Amino acid sequence: VAAWAAIVGGFYAIYHNKDIHGKPHFTSYHSWLGVLTLITTFLTPVTGALGFKYLGLMNYLPPGSGDVVKAIHRKQGSVVYFGSLFVILLGLYTPGINKGMLTYFMMASATAATCMILHNYINKYDKQSLPGGP
C-alpha cells in the first residue's frame, strides 16, 4: 500500500508540475511507457491476489487456471521492473535532464546493471515458464 501511495504521489507531482508550467501531457515515449508501466504496476498485485488460494478469488477462475495466473503474475513483476528501468533511461535522455557526459555515465551504469540482472534472470531464476511452454 505504501508503494502504491508513493507511485500515485509521484504521478500526481509530475502531472501537476506540467499543469503549473502549461506544458502538454503525454507527448513522449517516456511518458507513454511510464503510464503503461504504472498500469502494469497496479495490475501485478491484483493478479497475485487472484492466484493466492487463501483469499478464495481463485474459485472465480476457470478450473486449472491457477498455474497460468501465477506464471502471469511472475512475468508482470519482471515487466514492471525492467519497464521502470527503461522509462528511467528514457527520462534521463530528455533535453531538460540531459547534462552531457554525467547523464551518459548514469545511463551506461544503469544499462550495465540491468543487463547483469537480466542475464541472471534468464539463465538462473526464470526456470518456471507458462504452462505448456518450453
- Tell me the three cell numbers of residue 109: 551504469
Q: Where are the beta strands (DSSP E) in the chain?
A: none
Would you say the pTM of this structure is higher than 0.75? Answer: no
Instruction: Give the pLDDT of residue 65.
Output: 84
SS (H, E, C) 46-62: HHHHHHCHHHCHHHHCC
- What Å distances lie between residue 81 and 15, 55, 57, 78, 89, CA to CA? 22, 26, 26, 5, 13
Q: What is the pLDDT along the chain (134 residues), one digit of tens a residue?
A: 788 888 889 899 999 999 999 999 999 899 999 999 999 999 998 888 888 777 888 888 888 888 888 888 888 888 888 888 889 888 888 888 888 898 889 889 888 888 888 877 777 655 555 455 55
